[in-house]
Amino acid sequence: MPIERVFVAGAGLMGHGIAQVHAAIGKHVTLYEPELQRAQAGKERIAASLDRLVHKGRISGEDREAQLVLIEPTGDPGTVRHADLVVEAVFEDADVKTALWRELDRLAPEQTLFATNTSSISIDRLALAVRPARRALFVGMHFFSPVPVMPLVELIRGSATSDGTEAAIRQLAGELGKQVIVSTDRPGFIVNRILMPFLGEAMRAYEQGVGMAEDIDAGARVGLNHPMGPLELADFIGLDVCLGIMKVLHEGLGGEQFVPPKVLQDLVAEGHLGQKTGRGFYTYPR
Ligand code: 3HC
């Protein structure tokens, strides 16, 4: 079944980027948040990102308009009745995701594909939220931030995911210009299983006073040729998101490398979540 109409649930860091890349290849996108204002804010963020591309001469003003017109913000979950595909990118919490999937399963046509952008939670666990017949259509489709820039999609099959669902997601990822890697349904999948111990170890080095944040980050940027240092990358991803992923990894796999560092737990408890709150390991002008 060709995918033309995409319902993106969640208009935050990941959701707005996922909406943007689908509109960029001509898909009709419904951008959903329970509060309409948040969906509208997601669309404004996309408009600002497209402004940058126009300014750099990467796309024309007409392209910008053509892409924006394809994105419809909504606060009504019932609009999922038009969707060929749902991509869910809400907060990384199994209960939050389960409640949303249960609701969308009631409202969506029976052939609609369900893809979760979870960064660590088991696909089989989330698929329990939908009726058994839908589970063949339920899959993990994990994007990387910033979505318009990072050319990877991690595809995760649950035990019930059908070959047809995998093929449809592969086809779409190809249209989006993303390379697909396939992971089994294990905590953190492939990329976050590799990434989080790296970020965690940088945080432990920081809390033990091994080096200043700037020196730890420069070590990775200059010495390892990473585009960002681990502490600035954690701030960029969101410290609450990193903490949530590390907890899933630690609960599911054990191992000291997955234990969330104390400095991370403290920052999150104080509401310092990184770039999005203006403070994490660094402070950011607002
Ligand atoms: N939308 C569209 N384009 C964007 C963008 C955005 N939000 N942000 C950056 N870009 C584009 C710029 O326009 C620029 O394009 P150009 O080369 O054609 O001019 C290019 O990306 C580079 O951007 P900048 O020059 O502004 O800045 P940098 O060179 O410093 O790159 C970066 C910024 C791409 C974010 C780079 O620092 C980077 O790759 N960082 C690492 C990101 C990363 O590791 N992401 C994965 C996080 S893990 C994850 O998402 C999984 C989750 O489960 C946790």
String of DSSP letters for 80-119: GGG-SEEEE---S-HHHHHHHHHHHHHHS-TT-EEEE--S
Task: Please check whether residue 206 lies inside any domain of the structure.
Answer: yes
Please give the residue range of the domain that contains residue 210.
192-277
Distance 150 CA to ligand 1 centre (A): 7
Per-block mean pLDDT, blocks of 10 residues, the chain (286 long)? 94 97 98 98 98 96 97 98 98 94 98 97 97 98 97 98 98 98 96 98 98 98 98 97 95 96 98 97 93
pLDDT at 239: 97
Which of 131, 158, 183 represents a domain boundary (last residue)? Answer: 183
Asked whether residue 18 falls in the same domain as residue 115, the answer is yes
Asked whether residue 138 falls in the same domain as residue 164, the answer is yes
Closest ligand 1 atom to residue 236 Cα is 47
pLDDT at 286: 79
Report the candidate in 79, 107, 81, 97 with the shortest Cα–Cα distance to residue 15: 97
Asked whether residue 198 falls in the same domain as residue 129, the answer is no
Q: How far is CA 149 from CA 14, 18, 279, in A?
A: 12, 11, 24
Catalytic residue at 119?
A: yes
Asked whether residue 156 falls in the same domain as residue 246, the answer is no
- Which CATH number characterizes residue 215's domain? 1.10.1040.10
Catalytic residue among 22, 88, 122, 142: 142
Count of structural domains within the chain: 2
Task: Please check whether residue 129 lies inside any domain of the structure.
Answer: yes
User: What's the gap between Cα 152 and its chain centre?
Assistant: 12
Task: Please check whether residue 92 lies inside any domain of the structure.
Answer: yes
Distance 286 CA to ligand 1 centre (A): 19
Catalytic residue among 33, 117, 192, 232: 192
Distance 14 CA to ligand 1 centre (A): 13
Catalytic residue among 117, 119, 122, 183: 119
pLDDT at 143: 98
Catalytic residue among 33, 88, 154, 232: 154
Asked whether residue 94 falls in the same domain as residue 214, the answer is no
Q: Which helix (H) or strand (E) holds 156?
A: strand 152-157
Task: Please check whether residue 286 lies inside any domain of the structure.
Answer: no
Asked whether residue 81 falls in the same domain as residue 21, the answer is yes
Which of 130, 165, 183 represents a domain boundary (last residue)? Answer: 183
Q: How far is CA 51 from CA 6, 28, 54, 60, 133, in A?
A: 23, 20, 5, 10, 43
Asked whether residue 28 falls in the same domain as residue 144, the answer is yes
Catalytic residue at 192?
A: yes
Catalytic residue at 117?
A: no
pLDDT at 198: 98
Asked whether residue 102 falls in the same domain as residue 37, the answer is yes
CB 22 within 8 A of CB 11: no
The verdict on whether omega for the bond into residue 146 sits within 30 degrees of 0, i.e. cis, is yes
Q: Which of 117, 141, 149 to mutate to test the pocket of ligand 1 (most atoms within 8 A of CB)?
A: 149
Distance 148 CA to ligand 1 centre (A): 8
Give me 237's structure tokens.
């991803």
- Which CATH number characterizes residue 15's domain? 3.40.50.720
- Cα distance between residue 41 and residue 36, in whole Å: 9
Residue with token string 């890697």: 181
Asked whether residue 126 falls in the same domain as residue 262, the answer is no
Distance 145 CA to ligand 1 centre (A): 7
Asked whether residue 117 falls in the same domain as residue 212, the answer is no
What residue ranges line ligand 1, CB within 6 angstroms? 49, 52, 56, 58, 119, 144-146, 148-150, 192, 195, 227-228, 233, 237, 241
Question: Residue of the nearest CA to atom 42 in ligand 1?
Answer: 145
Catalytic residue at 142?
A: yes
Task: Please check whether residue 284 lies inside any domain of the structure.
Answer: no
Task: Please check whether residue 282 lies inside any domain of the structure.
Answer: no
pLDDT at 2: 85
- Cα distance between residue 102 and residue 82, in whole Å: 17
